[in-house]
Amino acid sequence: MTDMPKEAGRVALVGAGPGDAGLLTLKGKEWLERADVVVYDHLANWNLLRFAPGGAERIYAGKAAGQATLTQEAINALLIEKARQGKTVVRLKGGDPFIFGRGGEEAQALNEAGVAFVVVPGISSPIGVSAYAGIPLTHRNYSSSVSIITATYDASHDGLRIDWEKIASRSGTLVFLMGARKLPEIVANLTRFGKDPGTPVAVVQWGTTSRQKTWTGTLETIVDIAMREKIAPPALTIIGEVVNLRPLIQWCERMPLFGKTIVVTRAEDQSASFIQALEDKGAEPFCFPVIRTVPPEDWAPLDRALGHLASYHGLIFTSVNGVRFFMQRLIETGGDIRELRGVRVYAIGPQTALRVKELGIPVDVVPENFVAESLLDSLAAEGGLAGRRFLLPRAAVAREILPDTLRKRGAHVDVVPAYQTLRTGVETDALRKRLEDGAIDAITFTSSSTVTNFLELAGPSLRPLLADVKIACIGPITAETARAAGLNVAIVPDTFTVAALVAALEQQLRG
């Protein structure tokens, strides 16, 4: 029997947008989710890599400070090589692949090699950055045209290869990409060919990210401003009367957490709502998932409990994960939630209670405070516990105060592992760079396991870099773990929920 031919690979040239991870298109996200290999640029938001499967190969091919990790020819060869191995390759490029992104060259190389490819457009930096800076590139009263120009050198010419006379004569908006270092040359040439020195100019650095900064002036003043402020790449320059509209319609920089970068350490599959809440406040979440939840090593203890659910007086859920894995296993073993009829259901925390209710199971008790100690108070208020049977499906490793106290009061408690929490293998290089640059404002912890696993991943070398970063914990138990580990906890909300944690971050961090 002959071997079946290996399925041909393909390449997706995906525009990552200008910086904000939320500006990735749905189609771009879909391609990342099925990628075997991701080849990404310096300006592609690192957070986007979380959409790729855990086993996908990640290859950095960026250019920073004028130094390229790989030449363009090497990148072309890499894409071809990986695709010929039958892999789905995502070439993740900052902005749009075809707007000064050299995507056209990559597409040509793939075509010549006979490799199938698709192009997924992205929001280019002129569009995204100008919008986040509050500058419309066109306006019926100011500009009816836009010229987008790259300010990088042509290798075969001494200087910028631009027809300055024609560019200077245009009446619409001019946008220069990658022009931070060439600003004096740009200004000199425009004014030399007749552009009014009083023409408004805006320079936007790190547009659409938490590091966004915008400076405004005129052709006459902007170079001095840039020198004084030491404006460095990546930066985009907008020239034209539309710049004068910025004071009227800027919005991004007015958001309460604008300019703040907040590390999210919770499990990736549980972080979406937290990330969304932070983005709604203008913050840039930095995804650094240090834990993942997986099935327990042995289902047998839970399976035995599921076999006689009706024998319990109470079912206690202490987390959303406990609910998820409990129900998953109940369904897999052919169980029936109707067996819970007559069993009182207890849930610690509103999100846990909501997840239970979504499954069609009524919740009898949600304690006032979202910790085990508060549930003990609620149970005590119900009367005697002696002889009552409770099922507690939870993490394989957890605090023992709840079952121990119930047993001391005469109850029988079956503690069964419904899941286990494991440390991830997330890379620390990007986090280290941000910390070294002073570009992290807060690190959040939503459980004791996130604290311990973060510190194990970070190692002792990162400890000194945490001194000026605010540590935020969702509740007192998590905060106690962090303090015991030597962290200086600055933020603990009064209510132990993600929404309250975001509100506390806003109160502490807003300028």
DSSP readout, 76-128? Answer: HHHHHHHHHTT-EEEEEESB-TTSSSSHHHHHHHHHHTT-EEEEE----HHHH
Which helix H or strand E contains 285, and what residues bound it? strand 284-287
Q: Determine contact, residues 442/488, Cβ cutoff 8 Å.
A: no
Return all residues near 77 (Cβ < 8 A) that are at least 6 apart: none
- The CA-based dihedral angle spanning residues 365, 371, 376, 379, taken in that order and rounded to the nearest 10 degrees: 0
CA nearest to 240, candidates 138, 99, 127: 138
Q: Determine contact, residues 485/455, Cβ cutoff 8 Å.
A: yes
- Calculate the alpha carbon distances from 317 to 45, 356, 390, 500 in Å: 37, 9, 11, 21
| Backbone dihedral angles phi then psi of residue 246, each to the nearest 5 degrees | -55, -45
Catalytic residue among 20, 41, 96, 441: 41
Q: Is 484 helix (H, G, I), strand (E, B) or coil?
A: helix
Cα-Cα-Cα-Cα dihedral sign, residues 183, 186, 189, 195: negative
CA nearest to 111, candidates 79, 72, 87: 79
CA nearest to 259, candidates 441, 443, 18, 135: 441
Q: Is 245 helix (H, G, I), strand (E, B) or coil?
A: helix
Catalytic residue among 20, 36, 87, 178: 178
Q: Is 424 helix (H, G, I), strand (E, B) or coil?
A: coil
Number of H helices, E strands in the chain: 18, 22
Q: Determine contact, residues 20/128, Cβ cutoff 8 Å.
A: yes
Task: Supply the DSSP symbol for 365.
Answer: B
State both tokens at 140. 């019926």
Locus of tokens 């972080």: 271
Catalytic residue among 27, 63, 213, 357: 63
Query: Is-catalytic flag, 178?
Result: yes
Q: Determine contact, residues 309/284, Cβ cutoff 8 Å.
A: no
CA 31 to chain centre: 17
CA nearest to 293, candidates 277, 314, 262, 270: 270
Alpha-carbon gap, residue 174 to 164, rounded angstroms: 12
| Backbone dihedral angles phi then psi of residue 216, each to the nearest 5 degrees | -125, 150
Amino acid at 207: G
Query: Is-catalytic flag, 63?
Result: yes
Residues annotated as catalytic are 41, 63, 178
